[in-house]
Amino acid sequence: MDTPPQQQGSVVKKKETRGRKPKPKTNEQSQQSKTPKEGKKSQQHHHQQQHHHLTSEDKYNHWKSVVPVLYDWLANHNLVWPSLSCRWGPQLDNATQKNRQRLYLSEQTDGSVPNTLVIANCEVVKPRVAAAEHISQFNEEARSPFVKKYKTIIHPGEVNRIRELPQNSKIVATHTDSPDVLIWDVEAQPNRHAVLGATSSRPDLILTGHQDNAEFALAMCPTEPYVLSGGKDKSVVLWSIEDHITSAATGSKSGGSIIKQNAKSGEGNDKTANGPSVGPRGIYHGHEDTVEDVTFCPSSAQEFCSVGDDSCLILWDARIGTTPAVKVEKAHNADLHCVDWSPHDVNLILTGSADNSVRMFDRRKLTSNGVGSPIHKFEGHKAAVLCVQWSPDKSSVFGSSAEDGLLNIWDFEKVGNNTEQSSAPPGLFFQHAGHRDKVVDFHWNAYDPWTIVSVSDDCQSTGGGGTLQIWRMSDFLYRPEEEVLAELESFKSHVETCASISEN
């Protein structure tokens, strides 16, 4: 497999923890090329990090040995360039043993080739189909046969975040290192060959309104074709792309493009402003530092929330103005990186932070004595939390991923119900340890229950590239205990019957 060429003269972004350009190099080169802030940290913790790396490798090898027991299915896919985001797209077909589905990824390069938005076809194996020996025997350096690149879009700048439109998941929004949000009709866009010097693809729509770079905070509304973004200008910006929806698509999810072709999709130039653009419906001020993540209320296009580096969680209501409806000071004790609003209970909101914790808030009682008052604190990570997301399959379950390389699955109904002595943090019931570097994004699959895609940026551990994993834990771990015990008892009886027959 090709490896990325060494990066020359790169400029490291301020938000180092949220992903950086790959740098395959030796340890000596790595120490010399650190930024002052990062170099100081590396010097202070040099020996601890070496020890941690060894134990992490041991933990990974142990994890791999128990894959046949813990997982129903797992696919490991090596990425030449890291992807800072991963999202499921529409399901294409449904077969007896597996489904085929779109998968949205990116390639964050060092400039030797263009940055890209990648549309892949993924074969999702159905439950209880994969053989245990098959899912545990994979090569970390190989590409998975279950993931095939379908189309490449040359992206103007690196792709920090991808989000799909729930009403039509062929439409995606991307964040890059610019003030604009770019909208793409991935089916209408032509397939491009990503070579040095190639012109950028032309977005189908550009959303303008930020006064400074908006890199990570991005959300699409579940109920209306609205887009929400946050950025370094400390603002939250709301758009409606309604004016660009064709009549053909409004009546059918499988209809044509929802983007009016004001300009021809496809090859453009690096000045993306040549494409059609739309201004904001509202700009919301209330944060005092960079806005890191945003999300809509699942039942209302007019209500949304945001989190930022000011340690605040803010709830907004577009019907009452552009100032905060509720501002929660000190929601965490550090920067907030991520937020998600429960699709099952509109009162529950999750936040993840650089303080290594996930907190759950009830919007009916957000604060106490002027500061954030979460109803639960989940402390199972050893590094900054980068992503949180509620499960679509069970109302009390959610996932969190972090810089420690772990993707934890929690069930808040299990908090306080543990009658046995356990060292596990309250609420933690599954820990995916298949990544060996920071897990920058993950996404539950709405079509295949309990199936997750996750990506890690492997710059720290291997010097470059990334790892994509698609996995589903064994249903023995989340089904009702009575059901599982009954099935195991039935299996035991079957084995005993077979044994007695063979003896006779």
Partners of 239 in beta bridges: 227
Of the ranges 52-66, 154-168, 244-258, the best mean pLDDT one: 154-168
Give residue-wise pLDDT tens across range 338-392: 999 999 999 999 999 999 999 999 999 998 887 889 999 999 999 999 999 999 9
Give per-residue pLDDT as tens, 82-121.
999 999 999 999 999 999 999 999 999 999 999 999 999 9
Per-residue pLDDT band at 418 (split at 50, 70, 90): low
Nearest to 173 by CA among 218, 236, 240, 230: 218
Q: Is residue 223 classed exposed, middle or buried when 0-12, 13-18 and 19+ CB atoms within 10 A define those classes? A: middle
pLDDT of residue 243: 59
The rounded Cα 218 to chain-centroid distance in angstroms is: 11
Distances (CA, A) of 333 to 164, 312, 352: 31, 10, 11
Give the mean pLDDT of the chain.
84
pLDDT band, residue 481 (cuts 50/70/90): confident
DSSP 144: P
Q: How confident is the model at residue 298 (pLDDT cuts 50, 70, 90)?
A: very high
CA distance 13 to 142: 30
User: 448: number of CA atoms within 13 Å, CB side?
Assistant: 33
Cα(16)–Cα(226) distance, integer angstroms: 29
> For 301-305, 324-328, 472-476, 492-496, which range has the lowest pLDDT when averaged over its residues?
492-496
Cα–Cα distance between 393 and 344 in angstroms, integer? 10
Q: What is the pLDDT of residue 181?
A: 97
